[in-house]
Amino acid sequence: MRQSLLFGRTLRDTPSEAEIASHRLLLRAGYIRQLMGGSYTLLPLGKRVAARIESIIRAEMDAVGGQELLLPFVQPADLWRESGRYDSYDAGLLARLADRNGRDMVLAPTHEEAISDTARRELRSYRQLPLLLYQIQVKFRDEARPRGGLLRVREFTMKDAYSFDADADGLDRVFQAVRGAYEHIFRRCGLDPLMVEASAGAMGGTDTLEFQALADAGEDTLLVCPSCGYAANVEVAAFQKDAGSSVKAESDTGGALQPSAFSLPPLEEVATPNATTITQLAAFLGVPASGTAKAVFFHAPARGLIFAVVRGDHEVNAAKLAALIGADELRPATADEIAAVGAVAGYASPVGLLSRPEAPLLVVADDAVTG
């Protein structure tokens, strides 16, 4: 087709809503146009690029034995109730609606429920395993703050794959095969992403790897060790903690953790008036922040109040905590929820608190404060 006949004009000026380079270029070159917040039209050039990417994905997935299907975008809410995710899926992201007969429906943010239902209807024997199914389908997640052009949107196209295996060994083999397929896909697209350990989040699962492209506009923080090659999303990254009762503190220059001369004194009760922060408490007691414990309250649906205890110079990793207790969602606890278990924000201690049916309480202490 001639350029003069191509639908979609180029733009001289950068639209005001474009924040990052990729967004600006896609708009100015006539690849995409915004329909509403978090929703974009692919113009002919954009559609051609998407189609080429899809063809690469199909070729590599087919090469490892994948079979393509297409699952419905609108799904019955009963499937989500059966899985337990209708009420627990990430707050606000699941779009709910009803048809003309009043049946509850959802716009699919993901397709685990639909593929599981399809497989249980069609599979009749273990001889049909292993089975690797994949699709390239639209998803909808009602993001509160869409941003970055196509990076974080409400409506998007995802390639998702699902394997059904007779045993864990079979699952591992498929996992490695798909991992290799993904490496080939990115290589053919001219990308060299970093593969890191990650959190499965609401998707569930055990071993999770992410392919991350490093960019200034990214939203994730990665921790990488240049010596051993360890790489992980900060949500799941593990590090070597202090041995025994020694305490370490971060250097004044923000460098690596170094052993400090501080050692924990014998246990005794000490009044700490007007010391509601770790900084105030450490100054009052004359100890480094690493010699104190920090209390952070969360609330999880179906679990109640979560009392997390970490070392004073550390922060609670909410993603790790949620995975540990099996919660899909965590939010900061309210003052009333904290008071319901007999605690006071700023002065709370896990000692002496009671968990009751009307106010359930779970105390989780990091191993850095448990000796």
CATH of the domain at 81: 3.30.930.10
Q: Is the pLDDT of residue 79 over 70?
A: yes
Task: Give the chain's domain count.
Answer: 2
Rounded-to-integer distance, Cα 61 and Cα 185, Å: 9
At residue 264 the predicted structure's pLDDT band, cuts being 50, 70 and 90, is low
> What does the DSSP assignment read for 329-360?
--EEPPHHHHHTTT--TTS--STT---BTTB-
Domain check: are 302 and 183 in the same one? no
Q: Name the percent of the chain lying above pLDDT 70.
A: 90
Residue 245 placed within a domain? no
Q: Is the pLDDT of residue 30 over 70?
A: yes
Longest dimension (CA), the chain: 83
Domain residue limits at 332: 265-365
pLDDT at 244: 41
Q: Name the percent of the chain lying above pLDDT 90.
A: 46
Domain check: are 154 and 275 in the same one? no
Q: Is the pLDDT of residue 259 over 60?
A: no
Residue 224 placed within a domain? no
The CATH number of whichever domain residue 271 belongs to comes to: 3.90.960.10
- Secondary structure class of 284 (helix, strand, coil): helix
pLDDT at 201: 63
What is the pLDDT averaged over residues 182-196? 94
Domain check: are 7 and 133 in the same one? yes
The model's pTM: 0.76
Domain stop point among 192, 225, 246: 192
pLDDT at 257: 42
At residue 356 the predicted structure's pLDDT band, cuts being 50, 70 and 90, is confident
| Closest by CA position to 46, among listed 59, 62, 34, 61 | 34
User: Residues 56, 185: contact at Cβ < 8 Å?
Assistant: yes
- Across the chain, mean pLDDT equals 86
**What are the CA-CA distances from residue 247 to residues 70, 261, 264 (Å)?**
55, 8, 8
Domain stop point among 176, 192, 208: 192
Higher pLDDT, 353 or 277: 277
Would you give the DSSP letter of residue 44? H
Higher pLDDT, 55 or 363: 55
pLDDT at 247: 44
